[in-house]
Chain A
Amino acid sequence: MKKKKLRIGIYSLTSCSGCQEQIMDLEEELPEIVKAVDIANFEMVKKLDEKAKVDVAFVEGCVAKAEEIERVREIRRKCGFLVSMGTCATYGGIPAIRNLHEGWKFEKLVYPDDSMRLSAIKASPLSDYVKVDYFIRGCPMNKLEFLEVLKSLAAGKKPRELNYAVCVECKKRQVPCLLVKFLKGEEGGGICLGPITYAGCNAICPANGVPCLGCRGPFEDSNVESYVQMLEKHLKGEDVKRMLSTFAGTSKKLIKFV
């Protein structure tokens, strides 16, 4: 008996479209993907069919305007399994930096024209509004990780979670530790968020000679407190806050430190 193809939808909320772009960047695999699954929606590439029901919805971007709350709920109603795609969808991402600024009342934004209809609200992850079944982290999400998740779901399995630090991948790749270099005062070192950040990117930034910026957010078992204590010995408090607030500052694990 021929197995029914997995029906997927790729949706976009407030974002840079970089996660959708990562799917389009799977140049060698795309022809196979198109054969293997039924793509009911793919916002960048085809006309949106709002009525389409899908087995799996992949959603990029954060909820950052009032209309998007209903939109993400509607996507949830129309799908069996919801994957938040990338850091904006998972944590709010860079747009959520605005949530951290005190006194920044969105309903009172001041524009040259009062009639400006912005309907901006605080930037939130999808999980603030709907149940999310799986999180692909990263800014941008890693296209190979997307492929793994898609393959698992097409095979009827739940994709695996990696609950450990970027450091593990750095060691596997034998990348010299940038944090150790920094602490020793050696050239090329830097403050690296690898020790508290979810693995899965294959330590792409340290491997390219730049410290991890924490774009995948803090992993479940990370010891953020002791890490922050260590940072505070070397940096001003405000700089520590700034570093932690970039990608996932509003997450449960980081919010108390930013």
Chain B
Amino acid sequence: MKAGKRKITLEHLSKIEGHAKLRVKVENGVVEECEVQVVEGARFFEAILRGRKFHEAPSLTSRICGLCSVSHTIAALEAVENACNIKMNYTTMLLRELMHAGEFIQDHTLHTCFLALPDFLGFENAIEMAQANREETKKALHVKKIGNDMVEMIGGREVHPMTALVNGFSKLPSRKELQQMKEALEGAKEDAMAIAKVMAQLPYPEFERETQYVSVVGSSYLGDLIATCKGNECFPQKNFADYLDECMNPESTAKYVVRENKEFMVGSLARFNVNMQHLSKNAKKIVRESKIKFPNYNPFYNNFAQAVETVHCMDKARTIIGELEGMEMEKYEDVCIDAEDKRAKRGIGAIEAPRGTLYHDYTISGNAIQSANIITPTAQNLKNIEEDVKAFLPTLLEKDKKEIIRNLENLVRAYDPCISCSAHFLTVEGI
């Protein structure tokens, strides 16, 4: 590309979830401006939640995103339960973990194998790739299906699960279903590991930029403690607002989020950088054999981290099923919240969604939601993506425009951005 002023606008970032564009302005080899714009229509979910009954929050907010509806459901449930001081039983906890692992398996496989991979293998898209590699595609689809089957087994449906209620599940999986799921997981283990090995060896660009990394820490992705960078600073989920700041971008329907005025990264790579010791044995083995070093500051390796997490979640699911098989599952008990208790009760649910930490923050009065704030992973990643583009683009300027765009798209795509999620926000006066 020639020196002087150049503008690059990608009107449609493709092979991501939702509608976003990237605008970059380069002047004499320096990136003057860079912006990821979310052009998806706003849906005002926080405003829609106001006045709704507490038990409606999970089914309403699951509709924020068809890809991570399980995560939104669980975060909403946690927020309501924390606000109303409801302690769920152990069965519920295990089933949520299991359903959540299913979502990771299906969602990560969708992204790694069908959205990210084709480009690295020289295909225009997954449809072309599938036609040239039928057997491999079938295997990858099978791994994805296991994740979906798991969500369906617990949640009743792959997208927008309906059985997950405040304080429990309307339906419990049968012993036979659990047994079959365990066998299916066992059967697909090798394929998931093979996918991770492929994702380890892709020709990722040599690009590093250290940033802040944030993730829930501990053995559960649904845990209470959030840590930054190398785990040297921890905060409980209820204090998240002291650590993160939400900002607006006039051109975009998404908020963006910073920590101490600086961008940070969430998602699989951030989880690896913050919380790697909790990976399963098989997952650790893949990382060890790949010789890829962690903490890792190359955002392209988020693809690899997702594939390893898929293996981790399959291992975790087998362990949870083993535990469920050895116990008597507790049934659902309906909860009543005093409609007359008008004190404002605030509850925060923070969990790891496939793309990073997801916060649901509700204030409940009586049995209705008074106000809600939802911070999605992609909103948190937006600023970090922009800073990465600014650092990455100068290394590409010798290439032709088509190559530059391809590389930039790959970088943005490595974050697996979920635009529907990030375009849900906006506060409105008078509602």
> Known: A111-B426, A208-B170. Contact between A31 and B41, CB under 8 A?
no
Number of interface residues of B (CB under 8 A): 67
Q: Which 4 A-B pairs have the closest CB atoms?
A: A18-B66, A14-B41, A209-B170, A64-B41
Task: Write the chain B residue with the least CB distance to A121.
Answer: B41
**Residues B420 and A16 in contact, CB atoms below 8 Å apart:** yes
- With both chains docked as a complex, state the minimum distance between the C-beta of B3 and any C-beta of chain A, in angstroms: 29
A194 at the interface (CB under 8 A from B): no
A73 at the interface (CB under 8 A from B): no
Residues from chain A with Cβ under 8 Å of B131 in the complex: 34
B158 at the interface (CB under 8 A from A): yes
**Residues B124 and A46 in contact, CB atoms below 8 Å apart:** yes
Kindly identify, within residues 1 to 56 of chain A, every residue whose CB is under 8 Å from any CB belonging to chain B: 12-22, 24-25, 27-28, 30-31, 34, 39, 42-48
- With both chains docked as a complex, state the minimum distance between the C-beta of A177 and any C-beta of chain B, in angstroms: 15
> Known: A68-B41, A120-B42, A208-B162. Contact between A94 and B63, CB under 8 A?
yes
Residue in B126, B159, B248 whose CB lies within 8 Å of A45: B126
**Residues A28 and B41 in contact, CB atoms below 8 Å apart:** no
**Residues A17 and B17 in contact, CB atoms below 8 Å apart:** yes
- Starting from the known contacts A21-B110, A94-B43, A204-B157, 7 additional A-B residue pairs (CB-CB under 8 Å) come to A18-B63, A19-B66, A22-B158, A94-B45, A103-B430, A110-B429, A213-B162
A222 at the interface (CB under 8 A from B): no
Residue in A97, A110, A116, A140 whose CB lies within 8 Å of B248: A116
- Interface residue SS majority, chain B: loop
Residues from chain B with Cβ under 8 Å of A160 in the complex: none
Q: B interface vs A, CB < 8 Å?
A: 12, 14-19, 39-45, 47-48, 51-53, 56, 59-60, 63-67, 69, 106, 110, 114-115, 124-127, 130-131, 134, 137-138, 141-142, 144-145, 148, 156-160, 162-163, 165, 170-171, 248, 250-251, 253, 420, 423, 426, 428-431
Residue in B42, B145, B163 whose CB lies within 8 Å of A210: B163
Residues from chain B with Cβ under 8 Å of A31 in the complex: 130, 134, 137-138, 141
**Residues B162 and A210 in contact, CB atoms below 8 Å apart:** yes
> A229 CA to B186 CA in the complex, in Å?
53
> A104 CA to B420 CA in the complex, in Å?
22
**Residues A112 and B248 in contact, CB atoms below 8 Å apart:** yes
Q: A interface vs B, CB < 8 Å?
A: 12-22, 24-25, 27-28, 30-31, 34, 39, 42-48, 61-62, 64-65, 67-68, 93-95, 97-98, 101, 103-104, 109-113, 115-118, 120, 123, 139-140, 143, 204-205, 208-210, 213, 239, 242, 246
**Residues B41 and A30 in contact, CB atoms below 8 Å apart:** no
**Residues B250 and A113 in contact, CB atoms below 8 Å apart:** yes
- With both chains docked as a complex, state the minimum distance between the C-beta of A206 and any C-beta of chain B, in angstroms: 10
**Residues A115 and B250 in contact, CB atoms below 8 Å apart:** yes
Residue in B44, B59, B148, B250 whose CB lies within 8 Å of A98: B44
Can you report 6 residue pairs joining A to B where beta carbons are below 8 Å apart? A16-B67, A46-B14, A61-B41, A97-B48, A140-B66, A246-B60
**Residues A44 and B17 in contact, CB atoms below 8 Å apart:** yes
- With both chains docked as a complex, state the minimum distance between the C-beta of A22 and any C-beta of chain B, in angstroms: 6
- With both chains docked as a complex, state the minimum distance between the C-beta of A191 and any C-beta of chain B, in angstroms: 12
- With both chains docked as a complex, state the minimum distance between the C-beta of B72 and any C-beta of chain A, in angstroms: 9
- With both chains docked as a complex, state the minimum distance between the C-beta of A65 and any C-beta of chain B, in angstroms: 4
- With both chains docked as a complex, state the minimum distance between the C-beta of A252 and any C-beta of chain B, in angstroms: 22
**Residues A46 and B125 in contact, CB atoms below 8 Å apart:** yes
> A117 CA to B42 CA in the complex, in Å?
11
> A110 CA to B45 CA in the complex, in Å?
16
> Known: A24-B114, A204-B162, A208-B156. Contact between A45 and B41, CB under 8 A?
no
Residue in A44, A45, A62, A210 whose CB lies within 8 Å of B170: A210
**Residues B165 and A101 in contact, CB atoms below 8 Å apart:** no
Task: Write the chain B residue with the least CB distance to A104.
Answer: B431
**Residues B14 and A30 in contact, CB atoms below 8 Å apart:** no
> A254 CA to B64 CA in the complex, in Å?
23
**Residues B125 and A47 in contact, CB atoms below 8 Å apart:** yes
> A24 CA to B17 CA in the complex, in Å?
12
Residues from chain B with Cβ under 8 Å of A68 in the complex: 41
> A12 CA to B423 CA in the complex, in Å?
14
> A24 CA to B40 CA in the complex, in Å?
21
Task: Write the chain B residue with the least CB distance to A20.
Answer: B66
> A19 CA to B426 CA in the complex, in Å?
24
> A12 CA to B349 CA in the complex, in Å?
30
Task: Write the chain B residue with the least CB distance to A111.
Answer: B248
> A242 CA to B60 CA in the complex, in Å?
12
**Residues B124 and A47 in contact, CB atoms below 8 Å apart:** yes
> Known: A113-B248, A140-B66. Contact between A42 and B127, CB under 8 A?
yes
